[in-house]
Structure 1
Amino acid sequence: MKQHRFTVHDVVKITGISRRTLHYYDSIHLLKPTEIADNGYRLYDREALARLQIILILKDLQAPLKDIADILQLPRVEQQQLLVQHQKALLQQKQQLEFSIERIDQWIHGAGWHELTMPDSSSLIPLQQQYETEAELLYGHTEVYQQFHSQLDAEANPSIRQQTQNDFENAMESIYQQLAALIYEPIELERIGLLIAQWKALLETQMPCDAELLTCIAQTYVEDIRFVNYFDS
């Protein structure tokens, strides 16, 4: 007794797959029709329908089509090995998505674009490294910049050098926060002057600060949109 054959219309109705996708699976040899009728119609038996249902399940599990073709040809033990690898890839994607959600949450709650933390796996060059390259291109020819880097290079221990940089940034952030708090209070020149003196003294722990350099820094604070947005926040 000849088995029942399903037309493309039948398969679309049963599985919800589009006609175009079904034809595409045929073209890449992922799911060939059981036979082609005299009128040219593609026909599928129940075994082909079952194969398609497994394909759709694997696709819903985010398995690439090229891997699905391999999985279907392998015994169960080897299928498990491929799916274990696929599971690891999905877990990595999950971590990346969770990190992206966390960064979006940071932005929604007030962080600036340049303040968002980036994962170690990011393909982007770290912002701190970008800032350092930018500074070198802008000021690398100046004596002050060269003295600053000579001072950094003198510290051979990378961990100590990084800790020193972190301490500097935290102290600078504290001064910025104190200055920001004064915006909404009556002007107190003595208090503001004290904070500016602390700011200058902190800078001088990293580099010699003459009037020309301080002017350059002040102009950067006013003209660089990244600093403007940072101070506005």
Structure 2
Amino acid sequence: MELKINEVAKLTGITVRTLHYYDEINLLKPSKITEAGYRLYDEEAIATLQQILFFKELDFPLNEIKDIITSPEFDRIKALKKHKELLIKKRGRIDKLIKLVDKTIEGEDNMSFDEFDMTEIESAKKKYAKEVKERWGSSDAYAESEKKAKGYNKEQWQQIDEESKKILKAFADNMDKAPDSKEAQELVSNWQNFITERFYKCSNEILQGLGAMYSADERFKKNIDRNGKGTAEFMSKAIEFYCKK
């Protein structure tokens, strides 16, 4: 079975634009591209997409998902079993909420809020995320970042946060310039050096993936755009020009 990209989008609810983006960052490549330029996805690609969506459900960022599913030690069946455990917990919570709604409709005076409690599910998600990172999150960048992060104290984290905000604010302040302008390109260089010094060696390849993520991943986009609407898109384009040089 091979599906065209628009068929995959219809099947999964993922937009065509998102699938293009997953291709760009090497998270999910089409199984083949026809002479006419159509992207085709086979069963293995669809299974990989399913894994990506499962991990997104657990709030994993795309760069970590990529590290996990491309790890030589990654076991898809074990991952699915863990996903199943979490889904069963979610189903149990939804069943309780439905019962509460039915009782309320029937006129029963029930002021219980226990059914809304997400503590057990959130605890399970955190536990699973920890297990996943320990088992499969073994990329050099991830390991280096974890090592550095553990060594920072409160004051150092505050300084890192200030450095990050300063660079992001500078991107926002320079949005009136072209993404390939001298000012924008210097800011990209500053951002790359900041990541390398504070977290892990940020190669152009990694930087390019991050840049694409800033404009495509809503969580990153929302956070960066706090400095000014359009900052994430401008930053992404500036990084794209920088990495093509």
TM-score, normalised via structure 2 length: 0.33
Q: Using CA pairs below 8 Å that are at least 6 residues apart, which structure has the higher relative contact order?
A: 2
TM (norm. structure 1) is 0.34
